Amino acid sequence: MRVMEAGNSPSVGEAHSSTSDGQPVGFDVPGWTARPRPGRITLTGRMCRLEPLDPGRHAHDLFAANADDASGRMWTYLPVGPFDDEPTYRTWTEWATASEDPLFFAIVDQTSPLP
Residues 54-90 as b or e (16 or more Cβ within 10 Å = b): ebeebbbebbeebeeeeeeeeeeeeeeebbeeeeebb
- Confidence (pTM): 0.69
Domains and their CATH numbers in the chain: 1-32 (no CATH), 43-109 (3.40.630.30)
Per residue in 70-83, pLDDT (tens digit) is 888 999 988 899 99
Distance CA(48)–CA(106), nearest Å, equals 10
Per residue in 26-51, pLDDT (tens digit) is 888 889 999 898 899 999 999 999 99
Per residue in 52-73, pLDDT (tens digit) is 999 999 999 999 999 999 888 9
